[in-house]
Structure 1
Amino acid sequence: MKKLMLLSVMSVLTMSFLTSCDNKNPNNVNDSDMDTIVPMVDETEDTLATSGMETKPELENTDLVASGTYTGTAKQVDAAEKEIYVETGDGKTLELYLTEETKITKNGQSSTFDNLKEGGKVEVMVENKGDKLDPKSVNIME
């Protein structure tokens, strides 16, 4: 008798599970409501692209260097992440996430992240924090 009760309970639980896993209706709504469903769209990329803040893919094989000042070219500038990749003269690629504390200058004057351009020459002062580089200053050179 106990086995029969256990089998009955397991059958009911299995049927409940299977009906809740209806693959034809992923939003779990009645079929009669299907014509009123508005599809969900991820507008993050579109919004960022139209605002000029398109997120770019991260570059692979970046290098950690000793604390110091390095001159190079801004290989990639990502405004959405406030991140730049700098390729130094000796072929190293530095991944730098700028913060509010990072001092940005151009022609000796205070400047903003918006003035950083891909392909532009930069001089960066970084502090090695073990597993990342902390950019202390970025000088946009012309």
Structure 2
Amino acid sequence: MSVDAFLEDARAEITRVSPEEADGLRRLGGLIVDIRPHHNRLAEGEIEGSVVVERIVLEWRLDPSGDWRLPGFTKDTPVIVVCNEGYSSSLAARDLKRIGLPKATDLIGGYRAWRAAGLPIREGGSQAVS
């Protein structure tokens, strides 16, 4: 299977959201999870109110029934995964959906689409949740 087919399969399992839709979900209590590398976040900024979780620990920090999960969300919380341009976030969102987050999705166009839409950002470089 090619990576393009792999990505297409992942996206068939999620309902992706635009920057404006993601902002609406954020305002209603949705959790925006930034999986971008530190150097990208430092150079470009971060989404206001987002939580930084390295991809390597994402499933452990967002397993709704796991011992290592982040506080403050439930399996019914909309979770919007963000990467640079909306590719690896699709794969991550699919995986989160499979571990018990039915409202997991990703941001179409990633962080760069959010920033281009003029939505709230903050200075980058936050420490990731480990």
TM-score w.r.t. structure 1 length? 0.24
Larger strand proportion of the pair: 1
Q: Which structure has greater helix proportion? A: 2
Query: Larger radius of gyration, structure 1 or 2?
Result: 1
Larger RCO: 1 or 2 (CA < 8 Å, sep 6+): 2
